[in-house]
């Protein structure tokens, strides 16, 4: 009988992309997908250790899977797969611990003949989860060692794919009609391949592939955001006008203790530069072009963050006028440098700081969105539910249209914006497929 597999993915875009590679790898070994994890021969869980809440999910989930499927081989990969304390805690429920870089060796662990000679797991082709939008990893790992972050321990040091591999993968997708290519890595802007190609060169090369598609990338580190990259973002027509630039904090001393290697001033100047480079190009255009949107990640309540230091983050928020922010309350991650610092901001105060930033964010996002009223934008639709059909604009704004609107998931349509909110727009499709 045919062997089956099931994958559960928790966490970031890199984890989603890793799961796509695991799926294709298992299929190459003769396994086929099943929705029933209780009956699967192999159940893979791609874990996230960035927040305590994501980690806690695993402690409930993995024993449940094993109990409901005692014969299945349970594989644990992702951020938690190298952690000794997690291994001890879940020892009796996990059959194979697999840091993602060991994917090429999985065949042998499953007792199959496989592709163990592959140099690097990113050489394994993915089974894409979408037929119109694809994550294309350009590398893996991180060398930055921000003091709160598990990624350098969980994924190891930075390694990058040769540009020709990335370009070949993108070309293949575009030929198949993919509408959106998202280049991903923990820190895209420190990309360098063996032939000396840097990230702006790579972006330009992918942008220059023939075809009608949108290009995105994530995530950038402010210390590596060069003038060359900013110029490239502004100069590449297929590159969407959205930059995700994690600030993490607005106080220089907190940033120093986070080992972020930039100051609040540097961060704000970068944003000014990005807007100055991009937005004048929009003037004198006959049709509406979305301005660049800037989004960020923030941690509130980092060890030792005083009320005054938090106010520096609030000031950064007002000055930066973000379109969106992912605000996390600090939680210590085992094995990181900050886990040795005293977690001295209480939960209630962390929540209060999160809410204060959220209030500022709602205001700046709403002001930024006002320009959209009555304008026509392109939207790539990606989700439909009872409330309507949803998609994203080039600037990554979420747009909702009526459920019965003539639009299909995976298609780009032109939409007239009729209503604006802080974190979303509503509109009416004015014509079908682009």
Q: How far is the CB of 186 from ligand SF4 (least distance, A)?
A: 4
The position carrying tokens 């094993």 is 66
Number of residues that bind ligand SF4 (CB under 6 A): 10
Q: Which listed residue (134, 151, 184, 401) binds ligand SF4 by CB under 6 A?
A: 151
- Binding residues for ligand SF4 restricted to 123-142, rule: CB under 6 A: 142
If one asks whether residue 184 binds ligand SF4 (CB under 6 A), the answer comes out as no
Q: Which residues of 138-169 are buried (b: 16+ CB within 10 A; e: fewer)?
A: bbbbbebebbbbbbbbbbbebebbbbebbbeb
Q: Which listed residue (32, 64, 108, 145) binds ligand SF4 by CB under 6 A?
A: 145
Number of H helices, E strands in the chain: 12, 18
Cα-Cα-Cα-Cα dihedral of 176, 178, 181, 182, to 10°? Answer: -120
If one asks whether residue 400 binds ligand SF4 (CB under 6 A), the answer comes out as no
Q: How far is the CB of 246 from ligand SF4 (least distance, A)?
A: 7
Among residues 63, 86, 75, 72, the alpha carbon closest in space to that of 19 is found at 75
Q: Whole-angstrom Cα distance, residue 57 to residue 131?
A: 29
Q: How far is the CB of 102 from ligand SF4 (least distance, A)?
A: 20
Asked if 404 and 388 count as a contact pair (C-beta separation under 8 A), the reply is no
Q: How far is the CB of 258 from ligand SF4 (least distance, A)?
A: 8
Choose between 198 and 290: whose C-beta lies nearer to ligand SF4: 198
If one asks whether residue 327 binds ligand SF4 (CB under 6 A), the answer comes out as no
Give the tokens for residue 128: 């894409």
If one asks whether residue 187 binds ligand SF4 (CB under 6 A), the answer comes out as yes
Q: How far is the CB of 73 from ligand SF4 (least distance, A)?
A: 30
If one asks whether residue 146 binds ligand SF4 (CB under 6 A), the answer comes out as yes
- Binding residues for ligand SF4 restricted to 281-310, rule: CB under 6 A: none
Site string for ligand SF4, 205-244 (x = CB under 6 A): ----------------x-----------------------
Listing DSSP states for 242-263 in one string gives EEE---B-S-HHHHHHTT----
Q: List beta partners, residue 377.
A: 415
Among residues 35, 43, 46, the alpha carbon closest in space to that of 9 is found at 46
Choose between 187 and 309: whose C-beta lies nearer to ligand SF4: 187
Q: ω before 219 within 30° of 0 (cis)?
A: yes
Q: Which stretch binds ligand SF4 (CB under 6 A): 11-19, 146-154, 231-239, 400-408?
A: 146-154
Q: Which helix (H) or strand (E) holds 399?
A: strand 398-401
Q: List beta partners, residue 180.
A: 133, 214
Among residues 429, 399, 402, the alpha carbon closest in space to that of 416 is found at 429
Q: Which listed residue (12, 134, 149, 377) binds ligand SF4 by CB under 6 A?
A: 149
Choose between 142 and 167: whose C-beta lies nearer to ligand SF4: 142
Residues that bind ligand SF4 (CB under 6 A): 142, 144-146, 149, 151-152, 186-187, 221
């Amino acid at each position: 009988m045919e062997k089956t597999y099931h994958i559960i993915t928790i966490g970031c875009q890199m984890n989603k992309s890793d799961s796509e590679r695991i799926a294709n790898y298992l299929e190459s070994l003769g396994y086929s997908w099943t929705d029933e994890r209780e009956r699967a021969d192999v159940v893979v869980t791609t874990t996230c250790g960035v927040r305590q809440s994501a980690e806690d999910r695993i402690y409930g989930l993995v024993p449940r899977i094993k109990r409901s499927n005692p014969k299945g081989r349970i594989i644990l990969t992702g951020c938690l797969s190298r952690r000794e304390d997690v291994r001890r805690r879940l020892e009796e429920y996990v059959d194979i611990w697999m840091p993602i870089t060991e994917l090429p060796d999985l065949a042998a662990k499953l007792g199959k003949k496989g592709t163990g000679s592959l140099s690097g797991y990113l050489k394994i082709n993915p089974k894409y989860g979408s037929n119109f939008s694809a994550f294309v990893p350009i590398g893996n790992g991180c060398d930055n060692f921000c003091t709160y972050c598990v990624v350098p321990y969980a994924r190891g040091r930075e390694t990058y794919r040769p540009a020709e591999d990335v370009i070949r993968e993108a070309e293949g997708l575009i030929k198949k009609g993919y509408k959106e290519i998202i280049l991903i890595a923990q820190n895209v802007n420190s990309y360098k391949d063996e032939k000396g190609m840097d990230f702006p060169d790579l972006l330009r090369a992918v942008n220059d592939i023939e075809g009608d598609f949108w290009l995105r990338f994530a995530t950038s580190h402010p210390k590596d955001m060069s003038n060359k990259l900013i110029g490239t973002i502004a100069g590449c027509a297929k590159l969407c006008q959205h930059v995700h630039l994690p600030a993490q904090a607005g106080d220089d001393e907190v940033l120093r203790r986070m080992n972020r290697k930039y100051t609040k001033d540097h961060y704000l100047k970068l944003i000014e530069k990005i807007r100055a480079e991009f937005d004048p190009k929009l003037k004198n255009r006959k049709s509406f072009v979305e301005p660049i949107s800037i989004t960020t990640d923030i941690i509130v309540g980092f060890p030792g963050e005083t009320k005054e230091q938090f106010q520096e983050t609030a000031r950064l928020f007002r000055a930066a006028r973000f379109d969106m922010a992912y605000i996390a309350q600090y939680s210590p991650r085992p094995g990181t440098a900050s886990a040795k610092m005293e977690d001295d901001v209480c939960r209630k105060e962390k929540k209060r700081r999160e809410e204060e930033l959220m209030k500022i964010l709602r205001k700046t996002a709403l002001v930024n969105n006002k320009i959209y009223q009555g304008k026509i934008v392109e939207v790539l639709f990606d989700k439909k539910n009872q409330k309507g059909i949803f998609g994203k604009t080039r600037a990554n704004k979420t747009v909702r249209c009526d459920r019965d609107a003539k639009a299909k998931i995976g298609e780009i349509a032109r939409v007239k914006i009729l209503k604006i909110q802080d974190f979303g727009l509503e509109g009416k499709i004015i014509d079908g497929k682009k």
